[in-house]
Amino acid sequence: MRKIAVFASGSGSNFQAIVDAVEAGELQADIELLVCDKPGAKVIDRARHFGIPTYSFLPKTFASKADFEKEIVSELQSYGVEFIVLAGYMRLVGEVLLKAYEGCIINIHPSYLPAFPGKDAVGQALKANVAETGVTVHYVDSGMDTGPIIEQVRIPVLPGDTEQTLQQRIQKAEHQLYPAIINKLLQKDTVGGILH
């Protein structure tokens, strides 16, 4: 089975959906490591509950992004990680990680990209008064949610929607879409070649 790492920064609802899919046999993967840039985040407790090793770090204690990414790559390699799944990781991936895992890092974003990249995509959609938004799974590059798109789902913005109600519907879609797409990608013959 393919060895993956999940990167997250917050409560870890997408991390939970990925774990649940693995437990249910819907996602053929071994989650080897959770990487978190916020040592007190709830996602760390979720990982520990399932016996998944964690690596957490404080970015400000490192001289540069390259420094902490070198340490992350070292951790990933020590677990034999082949593929990285970003699940609410609120940090741009830098050159060190991109080079080490070229074509093997994906992200899920709560909008129908290219609309509303970056932080607070749900709030951005509501402020723009659009009729629909969505969910996007994409490969990660050096930009802010700019990598090649793998799969997208449209989600209507309903009259009277608040950030909370729209977020709940988006997360429900994310929790179904992401494990399925991860599984599809991991079933390809080779991560390093076909997934580019």
Binding-site sequence positions for (6R)-10-formyltetrahydrofolate: 65, 90-93, 107
Query: One-letter amino acid identity for 101?
Result: Y
CB 4 within 8 A of CB 31: yes
Token readout for 29 is 């993967």
Which of 73, 75, 74, 81 has the alpha carbon at shortest distance from 2?
81
Q: Active site residue: 109, 138, 175, 196, which one? A: 109
Peptide bond into 114 cis (omega under 30): yes
Binding residues: 12-14, 65, 90-93, 107
109 is catalytic: yes
Distance from C-alpha of 82 to C-alpha of 5, rounded to nearest angstrom: 8
Query: One-letter amino acid identity for 112?
Result: Y
> Which residues are annotated as catalytic?
109
